[in-house]
């Protein structure tokens, strides 16, 4: 009969303690070894979820050299293993070093079997949760291929993927609604990749990032000599997307006169370059996105109603990262793996306090904020694990509890609000000041006062 008990590897050279520990875990499949070579062999053969590791192993039983060598190999070969290291009284420095190098926790000798049992079972529980998350992520990836590189296990995002799968092979226009940083372009690529236009070009343009006087030329192209500086005939983005998909990001920022020309193209499927007289037939599918309330803009006369209904034949609302329960941790681990390979190969994962901080943070800047924080943390991390402090995430409850007085509490609140506003506006000073209801000079003064950076 198969043994379904979780694996526990005990690395201990004291034979008396080996026996004592082995018979203390009836609910585990226990493997006991006494040296470095045997430990790594057992790790490869048994793939234990949890390891208890005595740092003092032969041929250096009074030191930590062999123990740390075992820890380093475990973190290299199987970094998701939860390693609990044993230290002697007063060996706090060794314990902290072990944590920095990837250990999950530590315990002191002489061993308190009951206390160690609690640590071991807590480590197993965390390992199981992480395994379930990985399985969910893998399942999401298999079942929602339209998401491409987007990792999710959240039902809210899976529903978005299902909608995209259903509409991808039609020719309807798709409007993606969501806050900045929620992955709108990645989903637009999903529409393209799952459609029969996948072999054509996917052409993206951010309508908010291009000055109004240049946007028309970017979209429709121009003939040589059409204006000063037009030294050659240039195709616009619409023409470049012929046979493929055109993604209009931040479509709400298109000025009204250009909205009229875009509407004419959608109706007639022909364009006329600036300075040209020929009608050019273009077959492209339009996907657009915005974080603005277009229906409100229609009421204010800032967006054409007839264009809205042409662009919004299918509307897909993208949930914020805070609404995608569990995704922050999954995405953070994926980002860490990518950035570690590129910039800091010694980093193998997150410390428990970092995972707790990620799970508890509201992520006002959504996936983009998460990606940026993980990237910075990987660069700044000094050990094998990214710590909470590397992510620079505050714990609001801790701040309130430790505030010295009312002035201190107000300063903490100001810092938090300014950081959140900066994240939402992607560091734009004017937008941040407007969001906070203050002037630019006042915001600059506060940034200087609190030593914050845009």
- pLDDT one-digit tens code per residue, 373-428: 999 999 988 888 888 888 988 654 444 444 445 666 677 778 767 866 665 565 67
Residue 82: phi, psi to the nearest 5? -95, 110
pLDDT tops 50 at residue 317: yes
**Which H or E run contains 449?**
helix 440-449
- Distance, in Å, from the CA atom of 47 to the CA atom of 193, rounded to the nearest integer, reads 38
Residue 175's CB: how many other CB atoms inside 10 A?
20
What DSSP string runs through 162-215?
Answer: HHHHHHHTS---EEEE--TTS-HHHHHHHHHHTSTTTTS-EEEEETTSS-HHHH
Nearest by Cα to 368 from 379, 376, 356: 376
Q: Sign of the C-alpha dihedral, residues 293, 295, 301, 302?
A: positive
pLDDT tops 90 at residue 16: no
Helix, coil or strand: residue 106: strand
CATH topology agreement for domains 7-136 and 325-449: no
- Domain borders along the chain are 7-136, 150-319, 325-449
Average model confidence (pLDDT) for the chain? 85
- Distance, in Å, from the CA atom of 23 to the CA atom of 323, rounded to the nearest integer, reads 45
pLDDT tops 80 at residue 148: no
Nearest by Cα to 278 from 220, 232, 352, 335: 220
Cα angle, residue 237 at apex, residues 236 and 239 outer, rounded to 5°: 70
Strands 202-206 and 245-249: parallel
Lowest mean pLDDT of 94-98, 120-124, 335-339, name the range: 94-98
pLDDT tops 90 at residue 298: yes
Nearest by Cα to 103 from 78, 81, 136: 81
Percent of the chain with pLDDT over 90: 41
Residue 7's CB: how many other CB atoms inside 10 A?
20
Q: Global pTM? A: 0.57
CATH of domain 150-319: 3.40.50.300
Contacts of 382 (CB under 8 A, 6+ apart): 100
Buried b (16+ CB within 10 A) or exposed e, 195-233: bebeebebbbbebeebeeeebbbbbbbbbeebeeebeee
DSSP code of residue 35: S
The number of helix segments (H) and strand segments (E) in the chain equals 20, 14
Residues 242-294 have pLDDT tens digits of 999 999 999 999 999 999 999 999 999 999 998 888 899 999 999 999 999 99
Cα angle, residue 157 at apex, residues 155 and 158 outer, rounded to 5°: 60
Token code pair at residue 250: 């931040």
CA atoms within 13 A on the CB side of 236: 26
CATH of domain 7-136: 3.40.50.2300
Token code pair at residue 149: 């590189």
Strands 50-54 and 7-11: parallel
Residues 34-69 have pLDDT tens digits of 999 999 999 998 899 999 999 889 888 888 889 999
pLDDT of residue 164: 87
Instruction: Check: CB of residue 61 under 8 Å from CB of residue 94.
Output: no
CATH of domain 325-449: 1.10.8.60
Buried b (16+ CB within 10 A) or exposed e, 280-297: bebebbbbbbbbeebeeb
Name residue, tokens 């000599």: 225
Cis peptide before 311 (omega within 30 of 0): no
């Amino acid at each position: 009969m198969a043994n379904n008990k979780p694996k526990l590897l005990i690395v201990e050279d004291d034979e008396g303690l080996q026996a004592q520990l082995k018979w203390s875990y009836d609910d585990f499949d226990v493997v006991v070894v006494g040296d470095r070579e045997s430990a790594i062999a057992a790790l490869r053969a048994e793939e234990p979820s949890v390891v208890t590791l005595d740092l003092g192993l032969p041929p250096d039983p009074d030191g930590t050299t062999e123990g740390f060598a075992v820890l380093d190999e475990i973190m290299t070969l199987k970094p998701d293993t939860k390693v609990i290291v044993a230290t002697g009284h007063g060996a706090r420095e060794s314990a902290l070093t072990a944590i920095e190098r990837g250990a999950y926790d530590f315990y002191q000798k002489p061993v308190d079997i009951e206390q160690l049992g609690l640590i071991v079972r807590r480590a197993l529980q965390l390992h199981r949760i992480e395994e379930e998350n990985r399985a969910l992520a893998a399942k999401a990836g298999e079942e929602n291929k339209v998401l491409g590189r987007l990792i999710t296990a959240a039902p809210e995002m899976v529903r978005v993927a299902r909608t995209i799968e259903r509409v991808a092979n039609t020719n309807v226009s798709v409007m993606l609604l969501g806050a900045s940083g929620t992955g709108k372009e990645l989903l637009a690529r999903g529409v393209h990749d799952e459609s029969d236009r996948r072999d054509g070009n996917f052409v993206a343009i951010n309508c908010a990032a291009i000055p109004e006087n240049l946007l028309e030329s970017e979209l429709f192209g121009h003939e040589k000599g059409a204006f000063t500086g037009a030294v050659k005939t240039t195709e616009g983005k619409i023409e470049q997307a012929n046979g493929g998909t055109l993604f209009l990001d931040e479509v709400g920022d298109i000025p009204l006169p250009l909205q009229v020309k875009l509407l004419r193209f959608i109706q007639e499927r022909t364009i006329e370059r600036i300075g040209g007289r020929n009608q050019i037939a273009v077959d492209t599918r339009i996907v657009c996105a915005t974080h603005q309330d277009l229906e409100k803009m229609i009421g204010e006369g800032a967006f054409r109603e007839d264009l809205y209904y042409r662009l919004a034949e299918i509307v897909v609302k993208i949930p914020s990262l805070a609404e995608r329960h569990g995704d922050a941790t999954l995405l953070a681990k994926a980002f860490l793996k990518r950035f570690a390979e590129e910039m800091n190969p010694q980093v193998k994962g997150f410390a428990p306090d970092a995972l707790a901080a990620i799970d508890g943070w509201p992520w006002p800047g959504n996936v983009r904020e998460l990606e940026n924080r993980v990237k910075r943390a990987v660069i700044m991390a000094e050990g094998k694990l990214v710590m909470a402090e590397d992510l620079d995430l505050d714990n609001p409850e801790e701040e309130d509890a430790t505030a010295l007085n009312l002035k201190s509490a107000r300063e903490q609140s100001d810092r938090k609000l300014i950081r959140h506003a900066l994240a939402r506006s992607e560091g734009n000073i004017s937008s941040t000041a407007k969001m906070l209801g203050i002037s630019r000079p006042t915001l600059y003064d506060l940034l200087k006062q609190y030593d914050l950076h845009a």
